[in-house]
Amino acid sequence: MEKVLIFGHKNPDTDSICSAIAYAALKRELGMNAEAVRLGEVNGETQYALDYFRMDAPRLVKRVTDETKTVILVDHNERQQSVDDIAEAKILEVIDHHRIANFETADPLYYRAEPVGCTATILKKLFKEHNIPIKKEIAGLLVSAIISDSLLFKSPTCTEEDVQAARELAEIAGIDLESYGMAMLKAGANVGGKSAEELISLDAKEFHMGGYHVEIAQVNTVDPNEVLAKKAELEKAIESVIKRKGLDLFLFVITDILNSDSIGIALGKEQKAAGEAFAAEVENNTLFMKGVVSRKKQVVPVLTNAFEKRKKS
Amino acid sequence: MEKVLIFGHKNPDTDSICSAIAYAALKRELGMNAEAVRLGEVNGETQYALDYFRMDAPRLVKRVTDETKTVILVDHNERQQSVDDIAEAKILEVIDHHRIANFETADPLYYRAEPVGCTATILKKLFKEHNIPIKKEIAGLLVSAIISDSLLFKSPTCTEEDVQAARELAEIAGIDLESYGMAMLKAGANVGGKSAEELISLDAKEFHMGGYHVEIAQVNTVDPNEVLAKKAELEKAIESVIKRKGLDLFLFVITDILNSDSIGIALGKEQKAAGEAFAAEVENNTLFMKGVVSRKKQVVPVLTNAFEKRKKS
């Protein structure tokens, strides 16, 4: 039987690595010659989970069709997020929790997408549907993926199903959700060695809102003070970006993943809009963003709304 | 709660109509304001199933977004097979057994595709996964869909899962699979009122095979003799098409859905290729095609192979 390679998206996160490992294990139990592989480097958070449960990282691949024609995708479906030679492969299955786009097959396939917070939550169901017990280390990797994607259940993308699955998996894995989860997230939120320029550009996106030009960058940390200690350097770096791009507002969101709040550093001539958007006072260029962890769901829509209003008044 | 419309593809077959009705029933049990609708006329086979289980056909719609924004697709996903205003609707779910193509969403969704012979087979599983008992008339419609898509389990697209699901559903519906299935297929295979020209064009497709130009038409019947009684007229109609299109071969496949065999009428200067392809003697322009019911899986590949060989020799 031809080998089937199972992998998540490029720039893999914990869900992409752990779901590939877990689904390959399930498929082997069901008799498939399946192997998990990865499309990029393992990040610090994922490495923590692998080390804790004494599992090896999947093999790194750049192409797949030199060794097999048949693949299974987890945690993604869009072609540009997948392996470079995906167009030449036969996609046997997809297990995912994202929108569907840039995806097409020639033949019928098994496609299982659910609007939950994590692929691992769907995989837990699949083990149950096939009556295959989940081994301790696999349960550990699956719960790690849910903790990662949901920021320990604090992200607005997290559903009741994710929480319930994580509880059951933590029981099998023999971990305390809170203490293990915090340690794992902390391992991935190491901002210590990064310069101010790196911090404000690692995950930055530009937006046009009601005629205003806005950039929003985000960094996750378990200790906002570690980032704020570089406030003067960060402001200098931000001012430089504002000048270069002619921005009306730059909002740097420092997300405290343990308390599920964020602190924003807002600069630019429309600084006040940030305060209005989050009903917070802007003091020394900073504002407190209570309960905010998701740029996509909690920052972009609120700021867009504030700028649309400014435009009218 | 906004209404959710559930529908199958245009030119609906029994699976598209019955799966829409069944899934709407399941969704209502789960608390959704769901209504099944249809995108085209009900065919004779489907009407037989609806009448037998005393169910009404879903309401006919041309557009959906005038009454709701939210839809669920069954038995299809490709945009051109769906409702005209699908691009303006929000697709909440898809339950299907076809390849995925020309499909894209802005948001995550529930997408359940499995490589089985019929959407109804997947729906039966969904009832079970939600612990909702299947009512007699719904079981009747679901088993009708499986009988239709699988030609009473004779199509090569039929899987063991389809057979097992149909058996369990037949039990709930209180029908004998063989006698009910034959009666239903017969109701849909009424070729009596159709002219020779209609018969050879109702479901005809052109192909290019190894440099030869071929047309293959197919008609399903419970009595091939009823069709063969018009052999002279059919041959005249076929000759006319061959001349008009410059075909090398026209193969008219008369499929006996009860015995799961076909009789072919082959005309054109490459008539012999048809005999070679099916290892059958062509006598009086006809050949027996043992066990052949699927054009896609059993006729096109075999003929293509025969023509590729002719080209070489």
CA distance B72 to chain A (A): 14
With CB atoms and an 8 Å threshold, state whether A108 touches B98: yes
Number of A–B residue contacts, CB under 8 Å? 62
Identify the closest residue of chain A to B99 by CA–CA distance. A108
> A313 pLDDT band (50/70/90 cuts)?
low
In what helix (H) or strand (E) does residue A186 lie, and over which residues does it extend? helix A177-188
- Cβ(A164)–Cβ(A175) below 8 Å: no
In what helix (H) or strand (E) does residue A303 lie, and over which residues does it extend? helix A300-312
Nearest to B115 among A100, A103, A108 (CB): A108
- Average pLDDT over every residue of B151-175: 96
With CB atoms and an 8 Å threshold, state whether A113 touches B114: no
Mutate to test the interface with A, among B111, B126, B162 (most CBs of A within 10 A): B111
Identify the closest residue of chain B to A125 by CA–CA distance. B129
E strands, A118-260, where? 204-209, 212-221, 249-256
Instruction: State yes or no: pLDDT of A271 exceeds 80.
Output: yes
Query: Any idea which fold B4-189 has?
Result: inorganic pyrophosphatase (n-terminal core) (3.90.1640)
Side chain identity, residue B18: C
- Average pLDDT over every residue of B255-261: 89
Radius of gyration in angstroms for the set of CA atoms belonging to chain A, rounded to a whole number: 21
CA distance A41 to chain B (A): 26
The chain-wide mean pLDDT, for chain A, equals: 93
Identify the closest residue of chain B to A129 by CA–CA distance. B129
With CB atoms and an 8 Å threshold, state whether A115 touches B115: no
Rounded Cα gap, residues B284 and A192, in angstroms = 86
The better pLDDT of the pair A300, A137 is held by A137
pLDDT tens per residue, range B268-310: 999 999 999 999 999 999 999 999 998 877 898 889 889 988 8
> A305 pLDDT band (50/70/90 cuts)?
confident
Rounded Cα gap, residues A113 and A123, in angstroms = 11
Predicted confidence at residue B312, as pLDDT, reads 53
> A47 pLDDT band (50/70/90 cuts)?
very high
- Average pLDDT over every residue of A278-288: 95
- By three-state DSSP, how is residue A213 classified? strand
- Average pLDDT over every residue of B264-270: 97
- Known binding residue B66? Answer is no
CA distance B115 to chain A (A): 5
Task: Name B170's Cβ contacts closer than 8 Å, sequence gap at least 6.
Answer: B139, B143, B176, B177, B180
Question: Domain locations in chain B?
Answer: 4-189, 196-312
Rounded Cα gap, residues A298 and B309, in angstroms = 63
Task: Name B261's Cβ contacts closer than 8 Å, sequence gap at least 6.
Answer: B255, B288, B289, B290, B291, B292, B293
CB-facing half-sphere around the CA of B183: CA atoms within 13 A: 11
With CB atoms and an 8 Å threshold, state whether B115 touches A107: yes
Predicted confidence at residue B303, as pLDDT, reads 92
- Known binding residue A75? Answer is yes
Predicted confidence at residue B211, as pLDDT, reads 87
Predicted confidence at residue A312, as pLDDT, reads 53
Q: Among positive and negative, which fits the CA dihedral B281, B287, B293, B299? A: positive
- Known binding residue A98? Answer is no
> A20 pLDDT band (50/70/90 cuts)?
very high
| Strands, sheet with A286-289, edge to edge from the N-terminal-most edge strand | A204-209, A212-221, A249-256, A261-267, A286-289
- Known binding residue A223? Answer is no
The ipTM (two decimal places) reads 0.80
Q: How many C-beta neighbours within 10 Å does residue B273 have?
A: 24
Which whole-number Å values give the CA distances from A39 to A34, A47, A121, A142, in the listed order?
A: 16, 15, 22, 19
Identify the contact set of chain A against chain B, taking CB-CB distances under 8 A.
97-115, 129
- Cβ(B253)–Cβ(B289) below 8 Å: yes
> A80 pLDDT band (50/70/90 cuts)?
confident
Mutate to test the interface with A, among B92, B99, B107, B158 (most CBs of A within 10 A): B99
With CB atoms and an 8 Å threshold, state whether A112 touches B115: no
Predicted confidence at residue B310, as pLDDT, reads 80
With CB atoms and an 8 Å threshold, state whether A107 touches B99: yes
- Average pLDDT over every residue of A41-56: 95
Helix axes B136-150, B44-52, angle to 10 degrees: 160
Instruction: Give the tokens for residue B69.
Output: 């924004």
Nearest to A105 among B99, B109, B112 (CB): B99
Identify the closest residue of chain A to B112 by CA–CA distance. A112
Q: Per DSSP, what are the bridge partners of residue A71?
A: A5, A91
> A87 pLDDT band (50/70/90 cuts)?
very high
For the ranges B16-30, B43-57, B298-312, which has the lowest average pLDDT? Answer: B298-312
- Which has the closest alpha carbon to A213: A255, A253, A240, A243? A243
Q: Concatenate the DSSP letters of all residues of chain B into one string.
A: ---EEEE--SS--HHHHHHHHHHHHHHHHTT--EEEEESSPPPHHHHHHHHHTT-PPPEE-S-STTT-SEEEEES---GGGS-TTGGGSEEEEEEE-S---S---SS--EEEE-SSS-HHHHHHHHHHHTT-PPPHHHHHHHHHHHHHHHTTTTSTT--HHHHHHHHHHHHHHT--HHHHHHHHHHHH---TT--HHHHHHTTEEEEEETTEEEEEEEEEES-HHHHHTTHHHHHHHHHHHHHHHT-SEEEEEEEETTTTEEEEEEESTTHHHHHHHTT---BTTEEEETT---IIIIIHHHHHHHHHHHHH-
**Domain covering A196-312 assigned CATH 2.120.10.30 in the classification:** no
> B313 pLDDT band (50/70/90 cuts)?
low
Chain B residues inside the 8 Å CB shell of A98: 108
With CB atoms and an 8 Å threshold, state whether B99 touches A111: no
User: Is it true that B4-189 and B196-312 share their CATH fold?
Assistant: no
Predicted confidence at residue A43, as pLDDT, reads 85
Identify the contact set of chain B against chain A, taking CB-CB distances under 8 A.
97-115, 129
Identify the closest residue of chain A to B108 by CA–CA distance. A99
- Average pLDDT over every residue of B223-228: 92
Rounded Cα gap, residues A289 and A255, in angstroms = 9
Residues above pLDDT 90, as percent of chain A: 76
Identify the closest residue of chain A to B125 by CA–CA distance. A129
- Average pLDDT over every residue of A221-235: 93
With CB atoms and an 8 Å threshold, state whether A101 touches B104: yes
pLDDT tens per residue, range A103-145: 988 889 999 999 999 999 999 999 999 999 999 999 999 999 9
pLDDT tens per residue, range A150-188: 999 988 889 999 999 999 999 999 999 999 999 999 888
